[in-house]
Chain A
Amino acid sequence: MSQDTRQRGARGSGRIASSAAPRGRRRSRLERLLGRHPVGLLLTAPYAVFVAAIFLYPIGFGVWMSFHDFFFTAPGVDVPTPFVGFDNYVTVLSDPDIRASFLHVAEFLVINVPLTVVISLLLATALNSVLHWRGFLRVSYYVPYVAASVAMVTVWMFMFNSTGIVNQILGPLAPDPSWLVSKAWAMPSIAIYVTWKQLGFFILLFLAALQNVPKELNEAAAMDGANRWQCFRTVTIPAVRPATTLVVLLAIITGANLFTEPYLLTGGGGPNGASTTPVFLLYQQGIQQGNPDVASAIGVLLVIAVLAITYVSRKVTERD
């Protein structure tokens, strides 16, 4: 046995010995509570407090509100907030407008998520292979994402109103009533707008993933006779699957929280309520109409729906 091998063996034995020791002795109650490295708790405490204050407390408060008859009062005003069980949920689920708003979001997601994934992946792939103007093109795609929603919405309203440039190009093919006041077209128009607005961010995610795909894989596939489409389908798509999962999750989560775009583009949920979303109604109930308990119930149902959809989407996108 060489010197080196003996040393490795000794270190290995030592590791086994040291890890076996605590198992053998009884851990004190304090140690069990704080762990073997209490300083770690100290270091993570500020962030834990931050998360508890900013994230967990509001969530808990929201859930609590959804089971009580509650409204906001001035400090010192003592009003009863009786437990009402599932009453607020019954109110939400029996309201046809709220049920419709969930369907509107489903319609939005069905259009937005596939479009987002497909277009951002294709554009990222194209950008990845572009040699000239790469920086300019990346910035061009990214600008709508960082630009103010209100400004972008105004531009789209001018483009898509009945006398806008889109209808002028389409001429007699333009829908009547126009895009944003048509019950059939309002939500698809919003979905397309949001897809365009957020594309830059998702392109960056895919671009980062594509730059980690070894060139040798594509070269090997090409040597085996694969054409560009076959390389894309059999090499690129599987290689960026984790990024695809992330893009799908983020698109679902941001889509489910849709508020600004329908509010601004269609004048508060128009036409005739065809573009209302759960978050819009949550705002209406909680902020405008003073029913935060009902708004909380909408929020809880939305969270449950998003969790369910994202769970299913992960199962689908991560499937081999």
Chain B
Amino acid sequence: MKRPAVILTATIAGASLLAACGTGTGSSDSGADSAGASGPIKIWYSNNPNEVAWGEAVVTAWNADHPDEQVTGQEIPAGRSSEEVIGAAITAGNTPCLIYNTAPVAVPAFQKQGGLVNLSSFPDGAEYIEARTGEAASQYASADGDYYQMPWKSNPVMFFYNKTIMSAAGIDPENPPLATYEEFLATSRTIVESGAAQYAIYPSPASEFYQSWFDFYPLYAAESQGSLLVEDGASTFADTEGEAVATFWRTIYDEKIAGNEPYTGDAFADGVTAIASAGPWAIESYGDLDWGVAAVPTSAGTDPAETYTFADSKNVGMYSSCENQATAWEFLKFSTSEEQDGALLESTGQMPLRANLTDTYPDYFAANPDYTTFADQANRTVDVPNVSNSVEAWQTFRDAWTSSVIFGEDPIEASLQDAATAIDTLVAKD
């Protein structure tokens, strides 16, 4: 071996040994000490302007009454996605005590990393979560039955429609027929054929794992009356309901009712499409558009009062690097109290994940009837299942969906079945 090769090999080997020595160790916070400790804490919230305003107000309100337990809030650092930023921060050991907008899909991975505090370990932990959220809390529990996330807010996905485009296409803008697959397809064809809009609907055709939350999953939740993608350790979607939803979307792509190219921007806000699947968070971005909202369709046309959809929740995680976890828990309860949830609803229009939402804030919903529809829908939502390898499972599903539905290259039944088999293997792994 020539000398440079020898040097390179020796150096890499040495570095490998050093690396090996450096793994699995590091400073260890005493979990027991941190759990009962009080003092200053840091939190991160999202960079949405309305949520920043809410976060700053909550922190100010808390700090005024807790001089020895001051909270410092900041927007989550910029990154490709908040999940990636949080994952890196967990590894580096510099997560704040609380992160608002923790995605449920990432919770199993964060838990596996040892990055999350078990909220059920607080004396009133599980009791508080279940009392606030009601029955819906159970779908946020981990496999061990404990809560590693505080269910915080949901954005139930519904179908927005542009009334101006509907009128231009000769469709009743106040009550467009969108309840059944047949009605939806007929309305969509009319929109496209009339030239009122280039497309009827335009969910992102991109391959990222989370895109199925806005095309497949809301309709599957509705069609199956609330089934999760995975239940009791086995995938559910390779059934007649899943195939019905996939066939519906494949028809849409085959007939070019939806585009299959990535779109830069918001197709609905730009008037490229007449219908969009989104939660109430999107309302602000629609500006002066004259829009209405409908429940997602089903094959038989389910009563909207009984229709399920995807919750698109964001929750709060308490992270294990937190040194003053007692303060963090108290602040978490303060920030999810009835008063602060009301402030969140007022400033963002997003639905706090609490039982009896409309009864709790009757004045708000009386003044904002558009949001009442979403609040009612929030009672019937499903979220991503809390399972191992959750992101990988969703990516597996998305790949199958892309090939069989968006590009129509593989048969739907076989494609869903293959994805289900692969996902069953993934969720069975640690």
**Residues of A near any B CB (own CB < 8 A):** 52, 56-57, 59-61, 63-65, 70-81, 97, 154, 157-158, 161-163, 177-178, 180-181, 183, 265-273, 284, 287-291
Q: Across the interface, do A273 and B399 meet the contact criterion of CB distance under 8 Å? A: yes
- Within the complex, the shortest CB–CB distance from B91 to chain A, in Å, comes to 4
B residues with a Cβ closer than 8 A to A are: 11-20, 22-29, 80, 83-84, 87, 90-93, 95, 109, 112-115, 198, 204-209, 259-262, 264, 320-321, 389, 391-392, 395, 399, 402-403, 406-407, 409
Q: Are B19 and A57 in contact (CB under 8 A)?
A: yes
For A61, the closest partner residue in chain B by CB is B19
- The residue among B12, B80, B204, B389 with the most chain A CB atoms within 10 A of its own CB is B12
B392-A289 in contact (CB<8A): yes
A177 lies within 8 A of B260 (CB): yes
Asked whether, in the complex, the Cβ of A154 is within 8 Å of the Cβ of B395, the reply is no
Does the CB pair A60–B16 fall under 8 Å? yes
- For residue B204, which residues in chain A have a CB less than 8 angstroms away from its CB? 267
- CB–CB B91/A72 < 8 A: yes
Docked complex Cα distance between A157 and B265 (Å): 12
- Decide if A271 touches B260 in the complex (CB within 8 Å): yes
List, sorted by A's number, 26 A–B pairs whose CB atoms are closer than 8 Å. A52-B11, A60-B14, A60-B18, A61-B16, A61-B19, A64-B19, A65-B19, A72-B91, A74-B90, A76-B26, A77-B320, A81-B23, A157-B264, A158-B264, A180-B262, A267-B205, A267-B208, A267-B262, A269-B207, A271-B260, A271-B406, A273-B207, A288-B209, A289-B392, A289-B395, A290-B112
- Chain A residues with Cβ below 8 Å from B391 are 288-290
Report yes or no: B112 in contact with A71, Cβ–Cβ below 8 A. Answer: yes
Q: In chain A, what residue has the closest Cβ to B402? A: A272
Residues of B within 8 A of A183 (CB): 407
A60-B12 contact, Cβ under 8 Å, with A268-B207, A269-B207, A288-B391: yes
A270→B12 contact, CB < 8 A: no
State the Cβ distance, B170 to closest chain A Cβ, in Å: 24
Contact B114 A74 (CB under 8 A): yes
Known: A157-B264, A287-B84. A60 touches B207 (CB 8 A): no
Partner of B12, one of A59, A161, A273: A59
Known: A157-B262, A183-B407, A267-B207. 12 other contacts (CB 8 A): A56-B15, A59-B12, A60-B15, A72-B87, A73-B91, A73-B114, A76-B29, A181-B260, A265-B262, A267-B205, A270-B402, A290-B109
B258 smallest CB distance to A (angstroms) = 12
Which residues from chain B contact A291 at a C-beta distance below 8 Å?
Answer: 392
**Alpha-carbon separation in the docked complex, A181 to B206 (Å):** 10
Q: Which residue of the partner chain, among A70, A74, A290, contacts B23 with CB atoms under 8 Å?
A: A70
Which A residues touch B29, using CB under 8 A? 76
Contacts of B92 in A (CB 8 A): 75
Per the bound structure, the CA–CA distance linking A265 and B261 in Å amounts to 10
